[in-house]
């Protein structure tokens, strides 16, 4: 049975001058009688049944929604042309930054349209490389992906993790590099973990959870993380438990072996909060106990390197924008800690020690700067970057004399550079051959004022010669959470959008990591509304400055950014012409009840606390949909195997907004099967999704 929402008329003029009209019938979504009570407040949850994506009723609804959405998308005349252009531009060689270990260089390369990048190795960068791992052989449809890898210190083995269907669950496998053959070793039920080899290459450390029941692996709550050691040639059942805290089910552990092989550094986290405890274990002493070097959760401590018992850390302790300190573990009292690199006006995002030089990566108004410091913290210059954009990489060891980094901007794809510490020069190593002319586009950074007077930066990119008529289709993107900065980067999808005449804007709103801890915390818990106010103010600024108007303004964001989009269209449905919330956190009252959702309470707060419940309920997108409201054209996207932000968020939000929609704009949901939160998604799937998003905007913004 289907519910008819009246005549939905979508009108657009195509090249031939014809006009098309369409009617919509949304699939029926049964309203249940579930009601929860929070601090005396009764909150209905009529679509609770959609939380089980495998139930027959849910599968029927998913199939019906997809049938409706894909029929709509396939009826857009421009879709085929958009897909063709996306495929053309996507088809270029993409290189990752080389990483040296055991006398070889390792790097990823994608020929262009391969579903997954291939891991190559070579002893000489000027020679033809050899394929080490090709994830495209894992499955025919590309839905089994490689997530991470770590080469042993002697270069004999590589541990690599594999994920199926986009799940966060990973399996660790081991390949012998000389033969290219996998060993029998298999480590399962790991999640959010890397692998760290011991110096003797006999095994590696990793973290995992207990195996969930077979029918709830993608939904059950992940608690009681444990740190293990796996010795090559033994079954996982024989793995040694290194550290656990059964008295703290919400603690997480990651273990990394120092480059000298002497210490195991254990970072102890609480959810996604940017604070951690820091423990270590002396591997040179058999049976040594775990030492609690820092056992208070007050700041972030990121281990950089060590000189014997002296550990260097990047921290925001007494420095919201970050600094570097040294702790002598043989004399660890806090009053003996030494500052090596002081806090600056820019935000310190990463530090590595290469060639006895600290390579420090900063953000200046969301743009990358890279500075060099000697071991004693004195200035050693700067790595000059090619322009305004984002640089990443800078890996290596203390004894290395070179490092590699990537650089990209909104109109320039990622190029790879080699930096030589002996000559203090950068040379271009790999530059992609793409059928675009970056000089056709212009990027500028502006600053606008949010509701409470806060100054917020925004990047705006478009084709040169744009006339600000107030009629340009504009796509505004944001994230605003978890201390994650949104920096300039190349995207084929965004480039095609700009080729179509669109303006692309990125607002660096509060909640992110652009300006350090204070900027992040100003967009969390009871202050989360600041994030939405910042984004709404960005849209108002674009309209005020005649870039666009509400009917031509679209907004997009994924995950926490999906929450951002959902909150903004429920708070200001009049301000936007279209919305693309992707894999969003949309039910703010139940996010902690699934998989790793409880870990987000450091940003969002908890319904168990009255004041935080009030704040969550006030902006929760699902709970602020109002019957009889004209919402902008909306296409929700999710994956039915997403075990990071479970698809129930998107399912329930779609059912609710379809039932409430009073206007003529479509409110659709596009559900990808055999897909998760986004990581490891094959190229074919990414192109199809980008095609559908651009086609949707093309039609709904009447381009």
439 catalytic residue (yes or no) = no
Find the distance separating the first CA and the last CA of the chain, reported in whole Å: 35
Catalytic residue among 559, 620, 650, 690: 559
Q: What angle do CA 258, 260, 262 make, to 5 degrees?
A: 70
Q: Is 649 a catalytic residue?
A: no
Token look-up 């000059």 returns 384
* Angle, in degrees to the nearest 10, between helices 683-700 and 79-90: 140
Asked if 73 and 695 count as a contact pair (C-beta separation under 8 A), the reply is yes
Report the distance separating Cα 332 and Cα 336, nearest Å.
Answer: 7
Give CA separation, 383 vs 392, 405, 408, in Å.
12, 11, 15
Tell which residue, 356, 351, 342, has the closest CA to residue 369.
Answer: 351
Cα–Cα distances in Å, from 635 out to 23, 219, 580, 627, 694?
A: 17, 24, 5, 19, 11
What CA–CA distance (Å, rounded) separates 322 from 485?
A: 14
For helices 683-700 and 56-74, give the axis angle rounded to 10 degrees. 60
Distance (Å, rounded) from C-alpha 98 to C-alpha 104?
Answer: 10
Would you put residue 17 in left (φ > 0), alpha (ψ -120 to 50) or beta?
left
Q: How many CB atoms lie within 10 A of CB 156?
A: 14
Distances (CA, A) of 372 to 355, 357, 359, 379: 11, 7, 5, 6
Which candidate in 230, 520, 641, 677 is catalytic? 677
Residue 360 vs residues 236, 324, 445: alpha-carbon distances, Å: 38, 10, 23
Which residues, 6 or more positions from 480, have their beta carbon under 8 angstroms from its beta carbon? Answer: 509, 510, 511, 512, 523, 531, 534, 535, 560, 561, 564
For 87-202, list the strands marked E by DSSP: 94-95, 99-101, 104-110, 118-122, 130-133, 144-151, 157-164, 169-176, 181-191, 196-197
Residue 448 sits at the vertex; the CA angle it makes with 445 and 450, to the nearest 5 degrees, is: 140
Residue 538 sits at φ, ψ, to 5 deg, of -65, -45
Instruction: With CA atoms as reference, report the closest residue to 105 among 418, 351, 356.
Output: 418
Nearest to 488 by CA among 390, 563, 373: 390
Are 49 and 653 within 8 A, CB to CB? no
Backbone CA torsion sign across 179, 182, 184, 188: positive
Quick one: tokens of 605?
């707060």
How many separate helices (H) and strands (E) can be counted in the chain?
Answer: 10, 41
What are the catalytic residues? Answer: 559, 677
């Amino acid at each position: 049975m289907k519910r008819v929402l009246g005549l939905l008329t979508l009108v657009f003029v195509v090249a031939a001058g014809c006009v098309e009209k369409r009617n919509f019938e949304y699939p029926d979504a049964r309203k249940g009688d579930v009601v929860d009570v929070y601090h005396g407040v009764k909150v209905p949850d009529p679509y609770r049944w959609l939380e089980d994506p495998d139930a027959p009723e849910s599968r029927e609804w998913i199939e019906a929604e997809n049938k409706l959405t894909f029929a709509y998308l396939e009826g857009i005349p421009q879709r085929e042309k958009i897909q063709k252009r996306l495929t053309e531009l996507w088809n270029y060689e993409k290189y990752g930054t080389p990483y040296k270990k055991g006398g070889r260089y390792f790097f990823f390369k994608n020929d262009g349209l391969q579903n997954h990048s291939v891991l190559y190795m070579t002893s000489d960068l000027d020679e033809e490389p050899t394929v080490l791992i090709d994830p495209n052989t894992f499955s025919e449809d590309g839905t089994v992906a490689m997530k991470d890898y770590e080469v042993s210190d002697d270069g004999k083995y590589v541990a690599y993790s594999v994920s199926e269907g986009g799940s966060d669950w990973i399996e660790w496998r081991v390949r012998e590099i000389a033969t290219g053959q996998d060993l029998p070793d298999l480590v399962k039920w790991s999640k959010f973990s890397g692998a760290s080899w011991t110096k003797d290459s006999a095994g590696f450390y990793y973290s995992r959870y207990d195996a969930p029941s077979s029918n709830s692996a993608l939904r059950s709550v992940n608690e009681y993380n444990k740190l293990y050691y796996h010795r090559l040639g033994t079954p996982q059942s024989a793995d040694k438990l290194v550290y656990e805290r059964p008295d703290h089910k919400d603690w997480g552990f990651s273990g990394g072996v120092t480059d000298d092989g002497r210490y195991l550094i254990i970072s102890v986290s609480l959810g996604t909060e940017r604070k951690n405890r820091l423990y270590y274990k002396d591997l040179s002493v058999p049976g040594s106990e775990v030492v609690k070097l820092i056992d208070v959760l007050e700041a972030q401590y990121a281990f950089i390197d060590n000189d014997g018992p002296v550990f260097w850390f990047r921290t925001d302790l007494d420095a919201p924008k970050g600094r570097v300190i040294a702790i002598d573990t043989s004399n660890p009292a806090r009053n003996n800690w030494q500052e090596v690199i002081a806090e600056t006006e820019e935000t310190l995002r990463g530090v590595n020690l290469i060639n006895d030089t600290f390579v420090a990566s900063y953000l200046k108004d969301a743009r990358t700067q890279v500075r060099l410091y000697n071991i004693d913290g004195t200035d050693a210059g700067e790595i000059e970057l090619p322009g305004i954009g984002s640089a990443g990489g800078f890996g290596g060891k203390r004894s290395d004399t070179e490092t590699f980094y990537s650089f990209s901007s909104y109109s320039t794809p990622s190029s790879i550079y080699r930096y030589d510490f002996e000559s203090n020069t950068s040379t271009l190593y790999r530059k992609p051959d793409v059928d675009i002319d970056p000089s056709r586009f212009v990027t500028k950074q502006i600053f606008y004022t949010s509701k409470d007077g806060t100054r917020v930066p925004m990047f705006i990119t478009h084709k040169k010669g744009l006339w600000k008529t107030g009629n340009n289709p504009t796509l505004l993107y944001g994230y605003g959470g978890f201390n994650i900065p949104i920096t300039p980067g190349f995207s084929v999808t965004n480039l095609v959008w700009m080729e179509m005449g669109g303006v692309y804007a990125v607002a660096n709103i509060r909640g992110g990591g652009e300006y350090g801890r204070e900027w992040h915390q100003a967009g969390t818990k009871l202050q989360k509304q600041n994030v939405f106010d910042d984004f709404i103010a960005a849209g108002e600024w674009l309209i005020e400055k005649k870039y666009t108007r509400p009917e031509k303004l679209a907004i997009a964001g994924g995950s926490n950014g999906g929450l951002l989009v959902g909150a903004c269209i429920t708070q200001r449905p009049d301000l936007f012409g279209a919305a693309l919330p992707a894999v969003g956190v949309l039910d703010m009252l139940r996010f902690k009840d699934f998989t790793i959702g409880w870990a987000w309470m450091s940003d969002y707060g908890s319904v168990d606390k009255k004041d935080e419940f009030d704040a969550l309920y006030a902006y929760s997108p699902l709970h602020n949909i109002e019957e009889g409201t004209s919402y902008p054209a909306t296409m929700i996207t999710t994956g039915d195997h997403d075990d990071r932000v479970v698809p129930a968020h998107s399912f329930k939000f779609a059912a609710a907004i379809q039932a409430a929609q009073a206007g003529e704009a479509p409110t659709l949901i596009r559900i990808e099967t055999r897909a998760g939160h986004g990581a490891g998604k094959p190229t074919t799937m990414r192109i199809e999704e980008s095609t559908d998003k651009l086609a949707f905007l093309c039609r709904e913004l009447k381009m």
